[in-house]
Amino acid sequence: MKAQIREEIIDKLSKFEPHKKNNQTKEITEKFLSSKAFQSANSVALYMNTQIEFDLLAIFKATKKVGKKILIPKTYPKRKMAFIEYDEKNLTKTKFGPLEPVSNVELIPDLILVPGLAWNFEGYRIGYGGGFYDRYLANYKGDTISLVYDFQRLNFFPEVFDIPIKETFSV
C-alpha cells in the first residue's frame, strides 16, 4: 500500500501546476514561520528539498534572517541520520541525490521540519521508504512539523514503527 501511495503522490507532485504550487507554498510557509514552534526555536532542522518537494527557499532565508541556527540531515550507513549545521559552502551530493553537510559535528535541533509524501489526519506520514526520520524521531523530544500540500493528506493506517509528526500545516 505505501509503495502505491508513494508512486501516486510523486506523480502528482511532478505534475503540480506551478501557479497552484506557488500559492500553496506561500500560504503554508507563512503559517510555519508564524507558528509558536518556529518562533521559540533557536535551531531549526530543514532539509534540502528536491525539485518536486515543498520549496524551502523562503524558509531557509527567513530562518537565517532572524538568526536561528539551521541544521540539515546527514545520513550514515545502517539508516542512521544526524543533524549538522548548514554551511552552503561545505555540502556534498549523496547517493540519494540531495546535498548534505561534509561536517560530522552532530547537533540536536529544537524543531525539525520533517519531509514526506503523504500524511494522515493523525500526523503519521509516508516518506520515501528509508526510515531515516522515523528512526531519528523515535528518541527525539523536540517539536516536529510537516508542510503538506492539499492532495498529500490521505487516509491510511500507520505501521508499528511509524512516528507521528506533532503538527502539520496545509491549506
**Is 72 annotated for ligand binding?**
no
Binning pLDDT at 50, 70 and 90, where does residue 79 land?
Answer: confident
Q: Torsion over CA of 160, 169, 36 and 144, rounded to 10 degrees?
A: 30
**Is 37 annotated for ligand binding?**
no
**Is 140 annotated for ligand binding?**
no
At 86, which amino acid appears? Y
SS3 144: strand
Cβ–Cβ under 8 Å, residues 108 and 142:
yes
**Is 123 annotated for ligand binding?**
no
Q: For the chain, give every domain's residue range.
A: 2-170
Structure confidence by residue, pLDDT tens digits, 39-53 = 999 999 999 999 999
**Is 125 annotated for ligand binding?**
yes
Q: How far apart are CA 150 and CA 153, in angstroms?
A: 6
**Is 65 annotated for ligand binding?**
no
Q: Domain 2-170: which topology?
A: Rossmann fold (3.40.50)
**Is 127 annotated for ligand binding?**
yes
Binning pLDDT at 50, 70 and 90, where does residue 32 land?
Answer: very high
Q: What is the pTM of this model?
A: 0.94
**Is 1 annotated for ligand binding?**
no
Q: How far apart are CA 119 and CA 125, in angstroms?
A: 4
**Is 53 annotated for ligand binding?**
yes
**Is 97 annotated for ligand binding?**
no
**Is 24 annotated for ligand binding?**
no
Given this model, what pLDDT does residue 1 score?
85
Strand partners, 80: 76
Given this model, what pLDDT does residue 130 score?
87
**Is 70 annotated for ligand binding?**
no
Residue 99 main-chain phi, psi, to 5 deg: -80, 150
